[in-house]
Amino acid sequence: MIVVKKVAVLYGGSSSERNVSLMSGKAVSQALKRKGYDVIDIDVDHSFDITSLPSLKIEKAFLALHGGDGEDGTLQAALQLLKIPYTGSDHRASAVGIDKAMTKKVWQASGITTPRFFELNLSSYNPDSLLEHIQDYSFPLVVKPATQGCSIGINKAHNIEELHSFIEEAFIYEDKILIEQYISGREFTVGILDQQVLPTVEITHSHSFFSHEAKFKAADTQYHCPAELSADQEEIIRALALSAFRAINASGWGRVDIIADENGYFYAIEVNTAPGMTTRSVFPLATEQLGIDFDDTVEAILRCA
């Protein structure tokens, strides 16, 4: 008798990244169905009731959620209590990974290179003290909300006026934001699957940084894998990605965003513990380089759960 494994794909959610998650969820679900799994699709929208999950008798949950409760450890903790295995990092690593400021503090303490930054909290923020904060920094500066994705609320400030206005804009999204030194140079992202570091992907576009517009609308955004790096550079960037991933105790799968400055020196920018998994996402592009197709990639992620 063939035993069909019953799994759930959780997608959607209510974060600002809901739309990407709908696409990831659909692609993952179709892949698992092609692989012969009995798949239950669950949109984690407002009507979602987690207490209904145990009655479905699933073996594992594939989390195709980006941002919010689905990536910040909340859902992971609940699934752990329900004893349902799930893909990706556990609740503690997810909680650190979603928070760019917390991630960078861990990295700094672990000796992992990341752009200098400071944090602002809405409750204690005083615009009059901004000049004091930035006296050791130079423009441009990047302003970003701590836990959003898809470049939402992220801007590059070239002067103090822009900085004030972008800070105000970032505070619309959340109460905690970061001001980070802008690094001018090539942009990369490195995936990790199980214990394996995937080939580096370089991202090129004509925007001055990888804005929401560049990520989702611009026709000239391109992903290059393998990236044009020397064997030494490829080794250095992969080692940085792996230590950045491990420093926050991430596991299963994920992606680390990295920028190289003009001297070719690499800086870790952020870690994604639940990367996009649409058929056109960066992660499956990197596994494809290793001869692992989309469906096998999805199954490999599930196997780590």
Ligand X SMILES: Nc1ncnc2c1ncn2[C@@H]1O[C@H](COP(=O)(O)OP(=O)(O)O)[C@@H](O)[C@H]1O
Are the beta carbons of 86 and 65 closer than 8 angstroms? Answer: no
Residues paired with residue 10 on neighbouring β-strands, in sequence order: 42, 63
SS3 7: strand
Phi, psi (deg, nearest 5) at residue 224: -120, 120
Largest CA distance in the chain: 72
Interaction mask 231-270, ligand X, x per CB under 6 A: --------------------------x-x---------xx
For 2, other C-beta atoms within 10 Å of its C-beta total 4
SS3 208: coil
CA distances from 61 to 10, 15, 40, 126 (A): 7, 19, 9, 44
Q: Give 115 or 199: the residue with its C-beta nearer to ligand X.
A: 115
Q: Candidates 57-65, 176-184, 191-199, 296-304: pick the segment binding ligand X (CB under 6 A).
A: 176-184
CA distances from 44 to 264, 287, 303 (A): 42, 27, 22
Interaction mask 32-51, Mg ion, x per CB under 5 A: --------------------
Site for Mg ion in 232-271 (CB under 5 A): 257
Q: Binding site residues for Mg(2+), as ranges? A: 257, 270, 272
**Least distance CB 257 / Mg ion (angstroms):** 4
**Least distance CB 231 / ligand X (angstroms):** 25
Q: Does 180 bind Mg ion (CB under 5 A)?
A: no
Q: Candidates 146-154, 216-224, 282-290, 292-300: pick the segment binding ligand X (CB under 6 A).
A: 146-154
Binding site for Mg ion (CB under 5 A): 257
